[in-house]
């Protein structure tokens, strides 16, 4: 990755919908160059996905302890299907950390209940987000 690639990533990190032509003008290269570089970085796995961040009124961090009798990836797969924003397998006291965005507390609670009902989930601890910086 060179300086141009880093600048492309910086711009797309702020707005994944930024037009390639606009990025090209800002960096001082052709639109085709931007298109090729983004395709190359995507193919190499440097850019994993383009995403949308929604404004939601209720966010939470959920720590999950799983049973050793159920593969962690199986539990993660089910959590992803529930609609978790981000899921991390971690070391330490907990096995999985989940970031949840929900439009309201009721939907957040529905997602939490669904996570707790997954076979292999032994314990959860939820932290409601009060403010994001």
CATH class of 58-128: alpha beta
Whether 110 and 101 have beta carbons less than 8 Å apart is answered as no
Instruction: Please state the domain extents for the chain.
Output: 3-44, 58-128
| Architecture of the domain whose range is 3-44 | Orthogonal Bundle (1.10)
Q: Say what angle helices 20-27 and 31-44 make with each other, to 10 degrees.
A: 110
Q: Do residues 118 and 79 touch, judged by C-beta distance below 8 A?
A: yes
**DSSP E strand boundaries for 4-115:** 58-66, 86-89, 96-102
Over residues 8-33, the pLDDT tens digits come to 998 988 888 889 999 999 999 999 99
3-44 with 58-128: one CATH topology?
Answer: no
Cα separation, 24 vs 26, in Å, equals 5
Q: pLDDT (tens digit, 9 = 90+) per residue, 64-119? A: 999 999 999 999 999 999 989 999 999 999 999 999 998 888 999 999 999 999 99
């Amino acid at each position: 990755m060179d300086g141009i690639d880093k600048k492309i990533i910086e711009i797309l990190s702020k707005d994944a919908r930024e037009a390639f032509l606009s990025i090209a003008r800002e960096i001082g290269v052709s639109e085709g160059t931007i298109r090729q570089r983004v395709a190359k970085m995507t193919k190499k796995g440097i850019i994993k996905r383009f995403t949308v961040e929604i404004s939601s009124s209720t966010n939470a961090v959920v720590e999950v302890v799983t049973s050793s009798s159920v593969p962690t990836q199986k539990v993660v797969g089910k959590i992803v299907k529930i609609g978790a924003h981000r899921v991390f397998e971690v070391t330490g006291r907990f096995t999985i950390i989940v970031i949840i965005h929900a439009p309201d507390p009721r939907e957040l609670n529905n997602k939490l209940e669904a996570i707790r009902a997954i076979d292999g989930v032994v314990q959860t601890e939820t932290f409601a987000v009060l403010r994001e910086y």
